[in-house]
Amino acid sequence: MKGIAASTLLPPVRAWGVTPLLIAVMVLVTALALSGATAMMQGAGALGRPMASRMAVQIVTGDPAVRDAEAKAATALLRAMPGVVDVRPVPRAEIARLLRPWLGDAAGDTELPVPALVDFTVDQKGVMPLAQLRQALAKVAAHAQVESGAVALAPLSGLLAALTWMAGIIAMLALASLAATVMLATRAALAAHRDTIEVMHLMGATDGQVAQLIERRLGLEAAAAAAVAVVIAAMLLLVMDARWRALVPGPLGAGTALPAATWFILVLLPLVAGLLAGLVARVTVLRVLGGRL
């Protein structure tokens, strides 16, 4: 009777149709949103780790002699400090090249009071705090200004964090919409097969048995639709990942590309969709049948 009842209550399991199509669209949105969230989280880490250890000293003064003297003193002090590595005075030609998009040919004018720059990297385990570093530099270079890569990166990190939260919220809303779609489909099935369910009750079937039939059928249908959506999402993500690696070659492109967690999430999504759909269908059936249709 169970097989006959199942085929009477609901059509065969399929990955197409109105309800599966809606489920597939919502799973696709969820997959893309969660993939974007994981990529942004990894990107923030990949950008933040090297930038947090990079720092620079600017010597801002209009007197070239004082500027050069303080730059040399700051360079010597930094090279003698524990935890400070890769100390490099930035050549004026390199600074002029960085300023050329804004100043044009005037960036190479020797009369232009361009600040002296000293780049260096800090070892977070051994370097002194930033405030103490500034105090030490002030003793040998009164016009020195210390710029931290972490501080410069803070606005971008905040933006990535906000976008990550937004992507997570979109994924939650998509899953909530999936649950609502399953609930409506379940109610429609119960209303359409009211007489069949009454006959099943007369034959001794319980509400739990009816719920189990619909739960299993809608759960499998949601999982099948989600599997199709995941395949589409995977193809889209592979194309985007390849384009990103071509646009940003090297370690940075690899570090900000799609992480392994993305593919793990995609593999789990059909299972999650099937379990969620089955649970919502069961709860809906028991609540409706508890009120006796």
Tens-digit pLDDT profile for the chain (293 aa)? 444 444 445 555 454 578 889 999 999 999 999 988 888 777 666 665 556 667 788 888 877 888 888 888 888 888 888 778 788 888 888 877 877 777 777 666 666 778 888 888 777 665 556 777 788 888 888 888 887 766 666 677 777 788 888 988 999 999 999 999 999 888 887 887 777 777 777 777 777 877 888 888 888 889 999 999 999 999 998 888 777 777 655 545 555 567 788 888 899 999 999 999 999 998 988 888 876 54
Instruction: Say what the pLDDT of residue 29 is.
Output: 94
Model pLDDT, residue 136:
82
Q: Is 83 left (phi over 0), alpha (psi -120 to 50) or beta?
A: left
User: What pLDDT is recorded for position 142?
Assistant: 82
What torsion do the CA atoms of 178, 180, 186, 191 make, to the nearest 10 degrees? -150
Q: Does the pTM of the predicted model rise above 0.85?
A: no
**Lookup: tokens for 45:** 């880490």
The pLDDT of residue 152 is 62
The reported pLDDT for the residue numbered 254 is 53
pLDDT given at position 229: 94
Structural domain spans, the chain: 2-48+154-290, 61-142
